[in-house]
Amino acid sequence: MTLAEAIAAQTPLVQRLLDGLAAIGADPPGITRDAYGRGENEAQALVAAAGDALGLERAIDAGANLSLRWAGTDPSAPPILIGSHLDSVVQGGNFDGAAGVVAGLAAVAALQAAGIRPRMDIEVLALRCEEAVWFGLGLIGSRCLLARLPPGALDLRHARTGLTLAESIAACGGDPQRLRAGTPLRDPARLGAYLEVHIEQAPQLVEAGAPAALCLANPGNLRHPYIRITGEDAHTGLPHRFRRDAALAGADLALGLERLWLEEEAAGRPMAVTIGRFHTPVDRHSLTMVSGRFELSLDLRAYAADHLAALEERLARIVAEVAARRGVRIELGERSAAAPGPMDPGITECFAAAAARAGLPAPRLNSPGSHDANNFAASGVPTGMLLVRNRNGSHNPEEAMETGDLMAAVAILVHWLAERAGAGM
């Protein structure tokens, strides 16, 4: 069987797994696979069963991540990891993260069908809790694996169950005590590469008319999930000069951040500002009251660590200016951060050569999203990503990846693996 035939033969496996994951997460109008909960657990079980059928060795690490290992011929060779996540946001789409885990399994199955035995181990990883919606902190599975959990992370509480992260990990077969030691579960220096396939989260590939792309970099992010603005409750007729209006201060802050964003883009420094929560307190807001309290969330992202640091300084200045002008107190509150994820140039070039061998166009794009790949890149692991065309963005029920486009990414991945890992036909 040729390599192209072996890849095409995995389409039914890919479709069966995607359909199974959709059934597990069904939550009309979208998909919900809760991290460290039923949805993610059942998705892991589905993927593990597929790995069993391929003869892969399964293991659960201290963060409750699932590894499916195909042993290579040279035990001393650094392994290649192919990973992504299975959790989703609440009522999101089916493909964000999950498509990458399925792609890893399909790549292994294609190599097996083509009679290619890897020289080094190839591991497919289903990493836990990539989405920040569940604990207010994202990329948790890869943070656990690489000892990148911030202080206090194990005490964060799950948005639905109320269990701490430590309790949630233990309930899913992990070992939070091992994580408290603060040492990596896998030595980054002994990993040959980390590869991730992920749907694209902007319409760049739709615009380019290409099924897949080579990712150049993922942004890092700075997050404040609970920014609190405190002014003074007052009657709606209060003259402007006496007001300490928290809602208008929130609006000022949002518009100030948008001005920052537009200035940075005009200067050729790509970034993004996202305000996901923006509200007066639901238990007290009223048509006939000036609100003395306001809350919002903030996600700032950029592609370089020094740029993120500069944006954080600008954020502090904007906050101080708004607070002084409006006579309010602004507390940024809890903070989390993820390092930017530049992809390894050598892997990117080899991906380009693999795409050429597969007869596929291969545009090069930045991803607008942060991914588990960020943590591997920040830990010094050679990291590469492929992006898959996906209409209608992500984190919504309208995700619209076509299976054929995912198979194009699988083809690039398989050709890369056959060149890098193949020990013989």
Question: pLDDT tens digits, residue range 191-225?
Answer: 999 999 999 998 999 999 999 999 999 999 999 99
Q: Do residues 130 and 87 touch, judged by C-beta distance below 8 A?
A: yes
85 close to 102: Cβ distance less than 8 angstroms? no
Identify the pLDDT of residue 424.
Answer: 40
Report pLDDT for 284.
Answer: 86
Please say whether the beta carbons of 405 and 389 come within 8 A: yes
Query: Which residues make beta-bridge pairs with 382?
Result: none
- pLDDT tens for each residue of 366-405: 999 889 999 999 999 999 999 999 998 899 999 999 999 9
61 assigned ligand-binding residue: no
423 pLDDT higher than 80: no
Q: What is the pLDDT of residue 369?
A: 87
Q: Is 85 annotated as a binding residue?
A: yes
Which pLDDT score is estimated for 316?
A: 98
| Distance, CA of 401 to CA of 412 (rounded, Å) | 17
DSSP state of 423: -
Residue 131 annotated as binding site: yes
Instruction: For residue 216, give the amino acid letter.
Output: L
Question: Average of pLDDT values for 123-149?
Answer: 96
Question: d(Cα 402, Cα 95) in Å, to the nearest integer?
Answer: 10
State the average pLDDT for the chain.
96
Looking at residue 393, its pLDDT comes to 85
Q: Which residue has the tokens 């890849």?
A: 7
Q: What is the pLDDT of residues 216-273, one digit of tens each?
A: 999 999 999 999 999 999 999 999 999 999 999 999 999 999 999 999 999 999 999 9
216 φ/ψ sector (left φ>0, alpha ψ -120 to 50, else beta):
alpha
Single pTM value for the model: 0.88
Which of the pair, 283 or 317, is modelled with greater confidence? 317
CA 326 – CA 252 distance, rounded (Å) = 9
pLDDT in tens, 316-348: 999 999 999 999 999 999 998 888 999 999 999
Averaged pLDDT, 81-100: 97
Q: In the predicted model, is pLDDT for residue 179 greater than 90? A: yes
pLDDT of residue 26: 97
Q: What is the dihedral sign for C-alpha 67, 68, 74, 77?
A: negative
DSSP E strand stretches across 212-305: 212-215, 217-218, 220-230, 234-235, 271-274, 278-279, 289-290, 293-302
Inter-residue contact 204 to 215 (CB < 8 Å): no
- Annotation-wise, does 240 bind a ligand? no
Residue at 319: amino acid letter: V
List the one residue out of 359, 120, 100 whose CA is nearest residue 215: 100
Report how far Cα 336 is from the mean position of its chain's Cα atoms: 14
Domains in the chain, start-ordered, CATH in brackets? 3-219+340-421 (3.40.630.10), 220-338 (3.30.70.360)
Confidence at residue 338, expressed as pLDDT on a 0 to 100 scale: 86
Say if CB 221 and CB 337 are below 8 A apart: yes
Q: Do residues 84 and 104 make contact, with C-beta atoms less than 8 angstroms apart? A: yes
- Give the tens place of pLDDT for each residue, 12-53: 999 999 999 999 999 999 999 999 999 999 999 999 999 999
Query: Phi/psi at 103 (nearest 5 deg)?
Result: -60, -40
Residues above pLDDT 90, as percent of the chain: 93
Rama region for 147: left / alpha / beta (φ>0; ψ in -120 to 50; rest)? left
How many CA atoms are closer than 13 Å to the CA of 390, on its beta-carbon side? 27
